[in-house]
Amino acid sequence: MSNTITDTNFNFPNQKSVYKGKVREVYNINDEQLVMIATDRLSAFDVVMPKGIPYKGQILNQIATKMMKDTEDLVPNWLVSTPDPNVAVGHLCEPFKVEMVIRGYMSGHAAREYKAGKRLLCGVPMPEGMKENDKFPEPIITPATKAEMGDHDEDISREDILKRGIVSEEDYIVLEDYTRKLFQRGTEIAEKRGLILVDTKYEFGKTKDGKIVLIDEIHTPDSSRYFYADGYQERQDRGEAQKQLSKEFVRQWLISNGFQGKEGQEVPHMSDEYIETVSDRYIELYENITGESFVKADVSNILGRIEKNVLQHLE
């Protein structure tokens, strides 16, 4: 378990600042480039777990960068290069303060709200008579405000985003259009792998010249939920739980151990054996989502490896 990275403290040439998110650490180089390092931290219910997950950062980074390349013909993105398995380097952007969440199925948070009797999610109506994991007639966009580390992201409607001036209407129309296009492409990619892309979130930013681009991660198990397509309908008809390919298995384990990120709750102990199973699940996710075998990077000195590769890139 020691061969994981849960924190970095690099000092790269021309480094202006560093931002530490729940999972990624972002180094600003000369107000021009961002070096984004995917750590092995695991976050659930907006809480960072005490132990890192071996290879998780590499898995997230490699899925996200592959998916960016697979969608760049549709939507421009921030990515310039990937000098290390855990690192993506891209253009400095001013991020929009909303996450664009899009849902093709009534699962996860949407299902929990629906069970609680709500039929409006972020101002979007959900039809009567739906069961958990049913497909929506059309995918729905249910944005969330971006939380600072430790805070919960909050649902927000399109109307509130525009009324509060969080995003201009002109920009928001682009964000919605890009979100739908990316989700459609993600759905097609998933289909080829025998998967269903259930829901996902996208983040966008503006480059210095005012171009709206996709940033952060895309179609990873941390930002997306997948079902196995095989047997989906049979499971729905029998009222059974769907076979999932996402971080939901960690959330369910936490819930069953009395933790949902609420005040006064303590994160349950994660044994090394359990951490190992989480790592194995992430590798399985990688291979299913990308259709490629996962090649473990050398983790004998991860921080040294990252520093060397980033410095070579910056030269």
Domain residue spans of the chain: 15-94+271-314, 95-245
Residue with tokens 């960016």: 68
Per-residue b or e along 27-62, where b marks 16 or more CB atoms closer than 10 Å to that residue's CB: bbbeeebbbbbbbbbbbbbebbbebbbbbbbbbbbb
Contact 80, 33 (CB under 8 A): yes
CATH of domain 95-245: 3.30.470.20
CATH of domain 15-94+271-314: 3.30.200.20
pLDDT string in tens for the chain (315-residue length): 468 999 999 999 999 999 998 889 999 999 999 999 999 998 888 888 888 999 999 999 999 999 999 999 999 999 999 999 999 999 999 999 999 999 999 999 999 999 999 999 999 999 999 999 999 999 999 999 976 554 567 899 999 999 999 999 999 999 999 999 999 999 999 999 999 999 999 999 999 999 999 998 899 988 899 999 999 999 999 999 998 877 778 888 888 888 888 888 888 888 899 999 989 988 988 999 999 999 999 999 999 999 999 999 998
Q: How far apart are CA 211 and CA 218, in angstroms?
A: 19
Residue with tokens 């899009």: 102
Going by C-alpha positions, the residue among 199, 230, 203 that lies closest to residue 215 is 203
